[in-house]
Each structure stands twice: as structure tokens, then as C-alpha cells.
Structure 1
Amino acid sequence: MSASSFNTISIRTMPPAARSSSGTAGRGQTRANIALSVALAIFLFLVPIPLGANRPFFWATNAVIVGVIALVYAVAMIRSGEGWRISVRQHAGIVVLWTAFLGALIVQILPLGDIWNSTRFITQDGAEISTATISVAPGPTVLMALRMLTYGVFFFLVLQIAANRARATSMVRAVFIIVCAHAAYGLLAVTQLDDPLLFFEKWAYEGSATGTFVNRNSYATFLAFGLVIGLVSAFRALFAGNGRRGTNENLVAVALYLTGTAIIAAALVATRSRMGLAAGAIGCALCALVVGLKLWSHRKDAFFLGIGMTLGLSVAALFLFGSGTLERLGSAERDLDVRVALYDQVIRMIGERPWLGFGGGTFEVAYPLFHALPVSPDRVWDRAHSTYLSLWSEMGVVFGSLPMIILLVIGWRCAQFVRRREHDWWLPLMALGALVVGAVHSTVDFSLEMQANTFFLLAILGLGVSHYRRQGEDR
């Protein structure tokens, strides 16, 4: 087949929304996408700094920043006469589910109490309470809707970057460097700077690495995302070319990735987060297994090398910083008893409003109505310590499951890319590993309720699930 025939086929099979009216990617679009990738990389570096962005002020600030970036990008695309690289139609199922979830949040703040008797519920003490809206606190529900809108716009922008293979690779490299930088700061703070929280004295988790996060478990999830990226990137550099050994330049890249991964692993262990360490190990083990299976026919030692690298990093990190984590394993049984009692009461909450929920973002307000012994009254339980239970209690079983279904759809698509592609399956594998980390840790904690972690997970998933093409293919 001639080169001209190949170019003709490439143009015909390209999604219509992903190319300009002239059939080529214009310079204006390229400049806009480069600027967008730089802006989002800077945003991702900054967003974890103010306490993991876990405050309403930062939610509003981040919404404005993402909105301004999207507006400037849209204006640039309009002025250049270009279309979206990745259209909404290419991810129509995800868009529909996300819109339904956002719509449910809006319905929860409407004054339906006078016309809908289902806004009543029975508390732990047997008192009957009726509310004017489905949400028992419309303010937090509005803030949750704002966060969901911000996440949707952010994910759409990441998809535009990821439409170009080279740009997607550069972006995931930037994400890894950002996590390395935050990991290095976390280690430095806990070992050399008297363990501060930014410029303040810590009020919790003294002696554990928390970086710029308040909670060590949330910081651990953040680090575990980077751990997965570093491990898969090292494999990619070592086995570039579908299993063929890389050049000396590749080996230098492997050394750099492993160095960064070792820093992240050390910081992860220094958090003393039991479930964070477990989630990171599970995500890395899954990625190592998939790499071995994908390269089995070319390099059978890839599987054993992957297991060895994962175990080596884990042993080194545990040897240096693992004493605190091992000490906390002794209290696991006692903590489990407390969590089981908490989960039992949250499930009772869900049973009171299984279809409507108590309102997005309102767990802190609604749970005290069901709080009783044996869950300790000396502690403020403002989180369900399980993102799944939190969503079901706030949004109901149906609509509360929509975010999980969206992530399952993305994970399924990434898994299909990994299975079908011969070469470009590394980014989807990173996305799968990060998704497993978030899913596992969310069973017993609230790490993905920290906005910084959600932004990073969405960035990795967007880079993995996007239907990107090779550089220059749209010409």
C-alpha cells in the first residue's frame, strides 16, 4: 500500500469531531493544547498545597480557576476555527451519567417538602423529622454540585490534551514529577523540619508524613497514584518497543523513574497509613502482573522482573520508614470494631432514605441524628470513612451509585485498550492501577473526598481513556 493510500485511510477513519474543517490540525489548535497542558500541570502542582484543597473556599477557588482555563481555551479554539479533539459524543455514556448525578443534586435543593411526604425520616431516638428540601442542608449540597461541575469540566479538558499521544505522555510525566516533589517535601517535613503542616503546627497525625494534607490516609492515596505511574513508566522505558530491550537512554529513564518511585514509596510508608500502603501495593501488583502477561511472548522475564521490582521497593521502604506502620498493625483489630459499629449506623441511615438520601455533602449534618453508642461520642464523625457508604447515605442507593458506575465504565474502557492494543497500552494501564488504588482505599476511608486526590485521579483516568492518536496522524 502506498503512503498516499495510508494517509487517505487515516483521514477517513478519524472521528469527525477530532479534526478541523480542513482535515488537518491547525497551528492555533496545537498552540491552544500546549498552553492548556501547561496550565493544567501548574494547577495540579498547586492544588494539593492548601490542605489537599479540602475546604469550601478552595472548592470555590478551584472552580473559578478551572472555569477560566476552560473559557480561555474555548475562545482560543473558536478564534482558530478548530473543533474539539475529543467530542462529547465519544463519551456520551459518561456524560449522561454525570449529568444525571448533577441533576439529582439540583433536585435535592428544590423546595419539595410541601408536596412530597417522602422528605420525612426517623432519627436514632425515634423522633420524626420533616424537611422542606430533600437535602437536610442545602448549602453543602450546592457546594457538592459545584465540585461535580468542576470535575466534569476538568476531565473534559484533560481529554483534549490526551488526544495527542506525545502530549499525553508528557502530561503523565509531569504528573509523576509533581507527585515526586510532594513526596520529597513530605519526607523532608517529617524528618528534618520538625513535622509541620505547611507553616503551622500539626493538630493531628504527629510523626506521620502528611505533606500538605491534613490527613495521612489522604496523602497516602495521593502518593499511591504516583507509585503506580512510576512503576509502569519504568517498565515502559525498559521494555519500549513491545518487549524489546531499550537503548542506553531508556536505561537512564528507568533509573530516573525508579529513583522517583523509591522517594514516593518511602513517603508512602512514612505516612503510617495501613490501608494506603495496602492500596498502593495492590495497584502496583496488578500493573506488574499485566505487564508480565502482555510481554510474556517477547520477554518472559518481564513478569518476574516486575514482581522483583515491586517487592524490592516495598522492602526498602519498609526497612527505612516502616516501623510506625508495623506498630499500628497491632491496633487494627480495635479500630475495626469501631469502624464496624460506625458502618452499622450509617447503613441504618441509608435505610431511612434509600432512594432520596439526605443530600449531597450533608453527612456531617445528618449523621449526628443517628449517632449512638458504641460509636464514641468523644469524637466528631464528619465522614463515613467509606466513600461508598457516604454517597449512598447522601444521594440514595440509585443516584449515589452513579459516580461508581462512571468509574467502572472508564475502567472497562481502559481494560479494553490494554487488552487490544499492541503498543499504546501503557497509559490505560496506569489509569487502571490508579483506579484500583482509589477503589480499594475508598472502601474504608474518604481519600477521594479530598478534592486534590480527585483531580489527580481524573487527570490519570483522562490520559488513559482518551482515544488519542499518534503525533502527526491527523495530517
Structure 2
Amino acid sequence: MAVTDTLKSIFAGLYSALVLAAVVPFGLVDATPFAVVAICMFALGGAALLLFGEPRRGRWVFVWALLLFIATSVWIVIQTVHIPLPSLINPIWKDASVLIGVSRNTISVAPTDTLDSLLYIALPAMTFLTGLIIADTDKRARRILVVLAIGAGLISLFGLGQFLLFPKMLLTENKRYYLDSLTAVFVNRNTAATFLGLGFLLTATFTSENGRAYLGFSSAPPGTFNEGLGFWAFGSLSVSCLTALMLTQSRAGLAVTGLGSVFLLPYLASQWKSRRRLSSQADHPMRRKWRLTAGAIVFVLLFIAIFGGRAVLRADQRGTDDGRFCIWSDTVHALSQNWLQGTGFGTFRTVYSAYRTADCGIGGIVDRAHNSYLEGFLTLGMVFPIVAVLIFFVLIRTFWTGYRDRHRLRRYSILGCAGTVLTAAHATVDFSLQIPGFAIFFTAFLAAVVSICCGREERVIENRGRESPELKIGRSVGLSEI
């Protein structure tokens, strides 16, 4: 048992390091680092499954995630094969048959691109499944979250240093886009904003966790030196993430981080209770809760007002004159003609050119819809909203289970909910979830949080298994009498 526990800890360390390594090289948008990380993650996941089997906790989440991934993958493959149903075949092949005598008779307008894009779903899915297998205890799951929080904080520090000292550089290359904005290790400032916002929520959670005990705002004994060190370290990283977020000048990034903070910060603040307050009932709980909620919201708005002025100024200058609104209009037009079967996963760039109007200009190539839901619906058809709704249902049920059952660790279910709200909301106006490095980071974050949320069910099952036969008989007799 001790050997297995040590081996799982080693796997957890490798897993965390691999997740952070996936973020650094421009969010893994280049083919070579993507292939290296994919090979390592699949090897790690396969080894974890062979050595440890299915996860002990959150098994139903594991099964649902695996089934949804298999179903989506099967549909993507179906989009690339010859089918005998003319009504599902994309009209482009009928035109091709008339013009050049060649027809693929497939749903996808570019079958090769669709098959290649399957890996962009498989890698985050494997990251999530592997995380559930490895993070099978609260301790390991929290360690993974700690590593992710520290990694996000260090990346924000690197981004700040590079932006202030070498503003024309992006890692080791000359910066070509967003010269006036901080992008950390990403090419796009909006992806950087989503990452830094999630990093802020993570570091803020551990700042509160260490600070409560260290500063004497909990019923637990006074904190140790390590908790004090953790408080100041995570506090500094939290400020770093928030400052870097402001310098991205991402309007949506600021808004969704504020939205996620409204979910998380009031609860974290409500846990800071002095011993004198714990022994006194003078302060009404509901009154104090609303006061803390208002204080947390004011804190976020004040910080944005002070440090996010450049993003606000950019919003005033741009107004509603944003090219993505035009792209959305053309995408909806394309969707109206392909909503059932889709055009083939990963074919947006090819399909959009046929529906592009002159209002959107004629320069440049549009390869993203700037709305992950619209793009997913267009390329996957009706399968996408069904899978998306099921994913949100599984996550909501998991977070509610953690909130209801994990009283001492309830903050992690709220953290998971806040991080999901932040990422899902930003996906409506940008494509951060479609960047492999961030998708891997986010699914690793979800895997650790889901493991903690499902921890109580494991203890209940184990306790029932340890009951003596007499106690089990007594319990069954008592139930039958009732």
C-alpha cells in the first residue's frame, strides 16, 4: 500500500509538471510541442490506468467523461467516412462532382482536417481522466492544485517582467501581435487573460486558506511558520496574477474574472472569523454575509478601476465596433444551413470563407469564430449542444455534491464553480478553450476539484465496508421495521 501511494505521488508530480509544461510554449499552438506533450500525456494516462485502475472516487464522473469523449470521437470519425445518406452529405461534394468529377460523399468538407483535429479533443479529455485516476485523495488533489497555482503565479511574474523589460519579446521570439498588451507565454491577450483570471482564483483560495490559520481568523489553533510563508507567497502571486491580468487589456477577461470573483471571494471572506467573533453572537450571520459579499465586490471593482484603466479606455475607444460581431453574424448564417450534421470538426476556417460577407472586410483569414459554442455547433452539428449540456450537468452536480457534503473543504467546490463560470463565460466571446495549453490546464484544474468534491462518497462506502456483520444486520433490521 505504501509503495502504491508513493508511486501515485510520483505520478502526480509528473502530471503537474507536464500540465505546466503544456502552457509555456505559446499555449501549445505549434505542432512539435503539441505532439511531445500528447505522447507524454497518453503514456502517463495509460500507465496510470494499468497500474491503478479506475479512480476510487468520482467513478461516475470518470465513466460519464469517458462515454462523452467516445461518443464525440465516434461522431467526428463518422463525419469523415463515406455515408449512403445523401441528405447528410455536405452539398460541397455534389458541386465538386459536377465541376471536377470527384466526390468524397462525407459530412465534413475537409475530412483530413477533421481527423487531425480529433487530437485537440482527445488531449484535454485524457488530461481530465488521468487527473481523476491520480488525484484519488484530498492530499494529492490539493497538491496538484497548489502546483497549478504556483505555476500560474510564476508565469504571471514572468509575463510582468518581460512586458516591463522586453515589451517587444514573446518568450524567445519577437512579438508580432498585441504589442501594447501583456500576453505572458501566450500569443493572444484574451487567452492570457483567461489563464491569469483562473490563476488569480487559485492563488486567492490558497492565500485565504493559509492566512486564516496564520492570522488567527479561524477556530483552529494558531498557524505555523509554513502557513505564514504560504500566506505571503500566495498573496504575492495573487496580486501578480491580477496585475498581469489588468495589463492584458482584455475587456472580457476583466469582466469574467470579476464574475468568477463574485462567486468565490465572498465565501472566502466569510470564513475569516476571529475567535472573539466566534464566541459572540452580536453580529447577525446574514448581515455579516451580505457585508462581506459587498466588500468583496467593491474590492474587485476598485482594483479594476485602478489597474484596469487601459482596458476600460480601450473599450471606450472601440465601442461596439468589433469585428467579432460581424463574424458571429456570418457564422449564424452558416449554422442555419448546417445545424443538424455540422460541417466537420476543425473545418471552420474552410467553411467560413464561403459565408463571409463584404461587411466583414476582405483582408486576412478568419480561422476562429471568437465564440467556442457557435464554432462547435457549426462544425459538430446537433451533437455539440447535447454534449455541452451533459458536461455542464455533470459539473454542476459534482460541485453541488462537494458543496453539500464537503463542509471543511467546501471552498474547493466553489472554486471549481467560479473557475468554470469564468472560463465558460469567456468562451462566448473568445477561443481560450480552443488553445491546447489552456485547455489542458483547465481540465487538470477540474480533475483535482472534482476529486475533492467526490471525496465524501468514498469515505461513506469504505465505512460501510468496515462495519461488522452484526451492525449490518442491525441496520437492515432497523430499516425493515421502519
Contact 1:166–1:470, Cα closer than 8 Å, also in 2:
no
Contact 1:262–1:313, Cα closer than 8 Å, also in 2:
no
Q: Deviations over 1:316-337 (max 9, x none)?
A: 4653x4342122111342334x
Q: Which amino acid aligns with 1:438?
A: T
Pair 1:406 & 2:379 matched: no
Q: How does 1:29-428 map to 2 (within 5 A)?
A: 29-77=4-52, 84-86=55-57, 88-89=59-60, 91-112=62-83, 115-121=85-91, 132-239=105-212, 244=219, 247-249=222-224, 250-291=227-268, 300=285, 301=288, 304-305=291-292, 307-308=294-295, 311-312=298-299, 315-316=302-303, 318-319=305-306, 321-336=307-322, 338-428=323-413
Q: Deviations over 1:131-157 (max 9, x none)?
A: 522111122211222222222221111
Contact 1:176–1:226, Cα closer than 8 Å, also in 2:
yes
Contact 1:33–1:160, Cα closer than 8 Å, also in 2:
no
CA RMSD of aligned residues (A): 3.2
Q: How does 1:19-34 map to 2 (within 5 A)?
A: 26-34=1-9
* TM-aligned CA distance change 1:283 to 1:417, over 3 Å: same
Partner of 1:9: none
Contact 2:80–2:114, Cα closer than 8 Å, also in 1:
yes
* TM-aligned CA distance change 1:53 to 1:292, over 3 Å: same
Q: How far 1:236 sits from its partner (Å)?
A: 2.8
Contact 2:153–2:203, Cα closer than 8 Å, also in 1:
no
Q: Which amino acid aligns with 1:52?
A: G
Partner of 1:12: none
Give distance in 1, aligned partners of 2:119 and 2:92: 29
* TM-aligned CA distance change 1:248 to 1:120, over 3 Å: closer
Contact 2:264–2:418, Cα closer than 8 Å, also in 1:
yes
* TM-aligned CA distance change 1:29 to 1:314, over 3 Å: farther
- Provide structure 2 residue ranges, at least 5 long, that are not aligned to the other structure: 467-482
Q: How far 1:65 sits from its partner (Å)?
A: 1.1
Q: Which amino acid aligns with 1:132?
A: N
TM-score between the two structures when normalised by the length of structure 1:
0.84
Contact 1:70–1:157, Cα closer than 8 Å, also in 2:
yes
* TM-aligned CA distance change 1:207 to 1:199, over 3 Å: same
Q: How does 1:430-449 map to 2 (within 5 A)?
A: 430-449=415-434
* TM-aligned CA distance change 1:225 to 1:44, over 3 Å: same
Give distance in 2, aligned partners of 1:465 and 1:426: 12
Q: How far 1:260 sits from its partner (Å)?
A: 1.1
TM-score between the two structures when normalised by the length of structure 2:
0.82
Give distance in 2, aligned partners of 1:435 and 1:194: 31
Give distance in 2, aligned partners of 1:246 and 1:202: 50
208-217 vs 415-424, greater mean Cα deviation: 415-424
Q: Which amino acid aligns with 1:198?
A: L
Give distance in 1, aligned partners of 2:298 and 2:168: 29
Give distance in 1, aligned partners of 2:81 and 2:379: 15
Aligned residues: percent identity?
22
* TM-aligned CA distance change 1:344 to 1:131, over 3 Å: farther
Q: Aligned with 2:257: secondary structure?
A: helix
* TM-aligned CA distance change 1:140 to 1:56, over 3 Å: farther
Contact 1:231–1:284, Cα closer than 8 Å, also in 2:
no
Q: Aligned with 1:360: secondary structure?
A: coil
Q: How far 1:272 sits from its partner (Å)?
A: 0.5
